[in-house]
Amino acid sequence: MSAPALEVQDLHAYYGESHVLQGVDLVVRPGEAVALIGRNGAGKTTTISAIAGFLRPRQGTVRINGRNLTGAPAHWVARAGVALVPQGRRIFGDLSVRENLAIAGRPAANGWDEARVVELFPSLGRRLGLRGDQLSGGEQQMLAVGRALMRNPSLLLLDEPSEGLAPMLVEEVGETLVRLRATGLPLLLVEQNLGLATRVGQRVHVMNKGTIVFTGTPVELAAARDVEARYLGV
């Protein structure tokens, strides 16, 4: 069996003296879409930061495709094939859609390019000449995902793509992520939106106060009413 796309074991991380991640374990297998769910402040973004190399964990390991990249700087992790769609999207508002995609590009044979991104997001194709800040929130989210894909990643991390989007646009993002999942690209989707997380994730991890309190399929989570009530406020 090939190594997991992502394997996080017993991860601990701090902001100063504040012990935020208190032993996080999670796995994304090859070709798998996994959701990490939890309330605001649970430690989801901190987990992403520790994986992506923005925050150095104090204990535990992060392996990408079998390579130990614990504590490696962000540009190493990126070169190892990890792409991040950050919380708040952070596209370049004063560059065109086409330029936003082009500057992210890291060409690969048979990989993602502008044409393939536009195939996944047809509405972006009609807006290639517009500036990033002329797009709607939903389109900006598509551009942020498209930009990450232009890096031809082997693992995609998405931090709350539904944030700030109207329900209809959340639907649209969900549909896109399901199509992206079908390409076989391993995904780690961080979400507060339970509906989106369980639609996209083949397995879900629930996080509370810096630890994983539940791991299972969306069906198993739906059956675990106590988990939903205690940690997700459903």
Ligand X SMILES: Nc1ncnc2c1ncn2[C@@H]1O[C@H](COP(=O)(O)OP(=O)(O)O)[C@@H](O)[C@H]1O
Q: How far is the CB of 179 from Mg ion (least distance, A)?
A: 25
**Whose Cβ is closer to ligand X: residue 20's or residue 185's?**
20
Contact residue for ligand X among 44, 89, 203, 205 (CB under 6 A): 44
Contact residue for ligand X among 45, 65, 70, 152 (CB under 6 A): 45
Pairwise CA distance, residues 217 & 234, whole Å: 17
Q: Which residues contact 37 (CB under 8 A, 6 or more apart)?
A: 190, 191, 192, 194, 197, 204, 205, 206, 207, 232
**Whose Cβ is closer to ligand X: residue 2's or residue 40's?**
40
**Using the rule CB under 6 A, is 110 a contact of ligand X?**
no
Distance of CA 141 to the CA centre of its chain: 12
Binding at 136: pick from ligand X, Mg ion, none (beta carbon under 5-8 Å per type):
none
**Whose Cβ is closer to ligand X: residue 17's or residue 226's?**
17
Size of the site for ligand X (CB under 6 A): 11
Within positions 36 to 65, which residues make up the interface with Mg ion, using CB under 5 A? 44-45
- Window contacting ligand X (CB under 6 A); options: 44-52, 64-72, 101-109, 113-121: 44-52
Pairwise CA distance, residues 84 & 153, whole Å: 9
Q: How far is the CB of 84 from ligand X (least distance, A)?
A: 13
**Using the rule CB under 6 A, is 41 a contact of ligand X?**
yes
Are the beta carbons of 36 and 200 closer than 8 angstroms? no
Contact residue for ligand X among 5, 6, 20, 180 (CB under 6 A): 20
How many other β-carbons are positioned within 10 Å of the β-carbon of residue 147?
24
Binding at 43: pick from ligand X, Mg ion, none (beta carbon under 5-8 Å per type):
ligand X
**Using the rule CB under 6 A, is 52 a contact of ligand X?**
no
- Which residues sit at the interface with ligand X, rule CB under 6 A? 15, 18, 20, 38, 40-46
- Which residues sit at the interface with Mg ion, rule CB under 5 A? 44-45
